[in-house]
Amino acid sequence: MISQWQLRAAFAARLSEMYGREVPAYTTLVDVSREVNEDVLRAQGADAERLGSISRVTAERHGAIRVGTRAELAQVARVFGALGMRPVGFYDLREAAASAVPVVSTAFRPVDGEELARNPFRVFTSMLTPADPRFFDPELRARLETFLASRELFPPELLALADRAEAEQELPEQDAERFLQLAVAAFELSTEPIDKAWYETLERVSAVAADIGGVRSTHINHLTPRVLDIDELYRRMTERGIEMIDTIQGPPKWTGPDLLLRQTSFRALAEPRALRTPDGEVTSGALRVRFGEVEARGIAVTRAGRALYDRLLTLVDQQATAHPGADRAELARTLWAEHVPGTERELAAQELAYFKYSVAPDRPRDGSRPPEILGDLLTQGWVRAEPIVYEDFLPRSAAGIFQSNLSEAGSRDNEQQGAAYDSDWLSGAIDREVLDPFALYERQQNESLAQVASELHLTTLKGAS
């Protein structure tokens, strides 16, 4: 029998192999990431593994896919459900992006600590919003919806196997093999000729809309390795002549602990695609939609920590507008040094980030009673705190990644009222609860605190501050 986590690990590995064949620059990115990780490990020793073992980090990938309808998204949820991946978080990229990015998104990922440690594979999944009149007029919306309703992204055999794997939490070896083949094939780039006129009609609205709704299948858009030093990675890729986007998205490089998520990418590459012209002729064209991305993960922040992050982003925006000549990264670094605590200890004390607490093996053994306040337990050496890694995404960064890979801004009519979507809508659409990422981290932290209280026989344990 092949368990869900084994299916997930095998799927991630095979997808990576397939994508490497399709986009060779991805293989370069993976190689350079591995080199950087080895160098960081050599230079920093055990500290390099504070946010995940080197084996987890080396195998870690996230994928990005895009689908057209809620029915397609519900099918994606079944395929990933088979792999033990649940929908977490709601991202509205229509609002986060300045250019036309008409999608809303969630991320499918494992949610409990043990499953994440076994294999943390996650997929950022976006759904087109044809009902949003800012992007699609009634006629185009109707054509688009008809087109999407007539295609099949996932064969019934794949979905049946997925449902079985989810219900039984495992599959016999032969069925697992079949499931993996069908699942990987569903995300391969299709060779079927693309209707050129239709693709271009959608492209005038948004290149993302064309990539999703202009073709009869879906494909993996990118796969992202994790790196321990993203600034060094950026430097080495540039040195190899690979054109990276202008910035590293997310928190700035600074001297304090790594927080949340930093990401960067190389520009989408021209890939040969068969196109059918209006007179029926099939020609060879080139489309730029798929790119390579890399990321560095930091500590998960609390709601208060996230509010601080968002406030600093706004401040950086304001200062960058006021001083057009200034270096954004430098502005961000200065603001961070001023407003963000520079140690894990302070982040915990101010309840800005999440930690997993455990009783210290070398705690006092002199018969004294442990204090009942978390801060005192930490300073007196009774308890240790390990950072909880951020497993999710950032809307502003995601929009930046989408946008920096579009050559045209597309069109958007801001006079129109946007169609409303939220986390509850998404839950209903896929008939599964879209989980709140903060609640997941909080639960992990609370479980660890309950364990500490029980081991130290504390009836009350007062909060971090």
Query: Which residues form the interface with ligand OOG (CB under 6 A)?
Result: 64, 66, 124, 126, 221, 263, 293, 393, 397-398, 401-402
Instruction: CB nearer to ligand OOG: give 88 or 449.
Output: 88
Least separation in angstroms between CB 440 and Ni ion: 20
Closest separation between CB of residue 206 and ligand OOG, Å? 12
162: contact with Ni ion by CB under 5 A: no
Q: Among Ni ion, ligand OOG, none, what binds residue 118 when CB lies within 5 to 8 Å by partner kind?
A: none
Nearer to ligand OOG, 176 or 426 (CB): 426
> How large is the greatest C-alpha to C-alpha distance in the chain, in angstroms?
88
Choose the contact partner of 309 out of ligand OOG, Ni ion, none; CB within 5 to 8 A by kind.
Answer: none
Nearer to ligand OOG, 4 or 249 (CB): 249
221 binds, among Ni ion, ligand OOG, none (CB under 5 to 8 A by kind): ligand OOG
The strand pairing partners of 383, in sequence order, are: 359
Site membership for Ni ion, residue 184 (CB under 5 A): no
- Cα gap 106→125, rounded to integer Å: 5
Interaction of residue 268 with Ni ion, rule CB under 5 A: no
Give the nearest distance from C-beta 108 to Ni ion in angstroms: 13
CB of residue 405 vs ligand OOG: minimum separation in angstroms? 7
Give min distance, CB of 64 to Ni ion, in A: 4
Q: What angle do CA 158, 164, 167 make, to 5 degrees?
A: 140
- Choose the binding region for Ni ion from 248-256, 290-298, 425-433, 456-464 (rule: CB under 5 A): 290-298
Closer of 290 and 412 to Ni ion (Cβ): 290
Cβ of residue 221: shortest distance to ligand OOG, in angstroms?
4
Based on the shown chain and the rule CB under 5 A, indicate whether residue 123 belongs to the binding site for Ni ion: no
Give buried/exposed letters for 277-289 (b at 16+ CB in 10 A, else e).
eeeeeeeebebeb
**CA–CA distances in Å: residue 409 to residues 98, 100, 203:** 8, 6, 10
Q: Is 392 in the site for Ni ion (CB under 5 A)?
A: no
Angular region, 357: left φ>0, alpha ψ -120 to 50, beta rest: beta
- In this chain, which stretch among 219-227, 278-286, 340-348, 419-427 interacts with Ni ion, using CB under 5 A? 219-227
- CB nearer ligand OOG, residue 397 or residue 448: 397
Residue closer to ligand OOG (CB basis): 202 or 401: 401
The piece of 61-69, 135-143, 145-153, 357-365 that touches Ni ion (CB under 5 A) is: 61-69
Q: CB nearest ligand OOG: which residue?
A: 398
Q: How far is the CB of 303 from Ni ion (least distance, A)?
A: 24
Nearer to ligand OOG (CB atom), residue 126 or residue 448: 126
Site for Ni ion contains 293 (CB under 5 A) = yes
Q: In degrees, to the nearest 5, what angle opens at C-alpha 33 toward C-alphas 241 and 125? A: 100
Min. distance of Cβ 295 from Ni ion in angstroms?
7
CA distance 82 to 107: 15
- For Ni ion, the closer of residues 78 and 226 by Cβ is 226
**Taking the complex as a whole, how short is the minimal distance between the CB of residue 361 and ligand OOG, in angstroms?**
38
Q: Shortest distance, CB of residue 417 to ligand OOG, whole angstroms? A: 25
Nearer to ligand OOG, 126 or 423 (CB): 126
Spatial separation of the C-alpha atoms in residues 366 and 368, rounded to whole Å:
6
The residue (of 128 and 176) whose beta carbon lies closer to ligand OOG is 128
**211 is a site residue for Ni ion (CB under 5 A):** no
- To ligand OOG, the closest distance from the beta carbon of 53 in angstroms equals 22
Instruction: Give residue for tokens 């079944």.
Output: 78
Q: Which is nearer to ligand OOG, 86 or 219 (CB)?
A: 219
144 within 8 A of 95, measured Cβ to Cβ: no
Which listed option, ligand OOG, Ni ion, none, makes contact with residue 66 (CB within 5 to 8 Å by class)?
ligand OOG
> Site residues for Ni ion, window 62-81 (CB under 5 A)?
64
Q: Which residues bind Ni ion (CB under 5 A)?
A: 64, 224, 293
